[in-house]
Structure 1
Amino acid sequence: LLTGMGNGPIDAAVHALQGVGIKVQVRSYEERSTRASTDAGDAQACAFLELVSAAGGPERFGVGMDTNIVTASVKALLSGVNRLGLSELAVVESEAA
């Protein structure tokens, strides 16, 4: 279980990842609604996030979709972290040691 505090859900998730040595910086964030309908339960939130490893390197993008915008945002963050790859994260891990 990871926990983190921040000025919003994305900031809190970034701080939670820092607790296990994954240090990233969010460069940009957007959210959109897809499949909007008259039924509120039918709507889907789509979050787009651009991030970089705190150690530097190219930016990566993550996308997350869910009926809950907070969940979609965290999914986008994790999608971007997965795209960083182990080599970019390993640099940050060795600096933390």
Structure 2
Amino acid sequence: AAWSTNTSGTGADRAQLLDTGNLVVSDAAGRTLWQSFDWPTDTLLPGQLITRHARLVSAKARASTYSGYYSFYFDNFNILNLMYDGPEIN
């Protein structure tokens, strides 16, 4: 598997891509078990929140699946940070 929601054994019975761009996995009662908005990658969509539990990480290059050098996140003091973690440049 290249990717997993880790929802096995939870009663998940459907996945739905909403108009917002949020991919939602839910059970028969309609309860959300997992949603892509809780796990941002390199793109933040309108309506998607960035919380202290989420980290936005740049892509290595356009259309790349590898993580880049920049991350955008809240630290332990609720301060929004843009961090560069890559090779030093001159």
- Select the structure with the greater relative contact order (CA < 8 A; seq sep ≥ 6): 1
Q: Which has the higher helix share?
A: 1
Q: TM-score, normalised by structure 1?
A: 0.24
Q: Which has the higher strand share?
A: 2
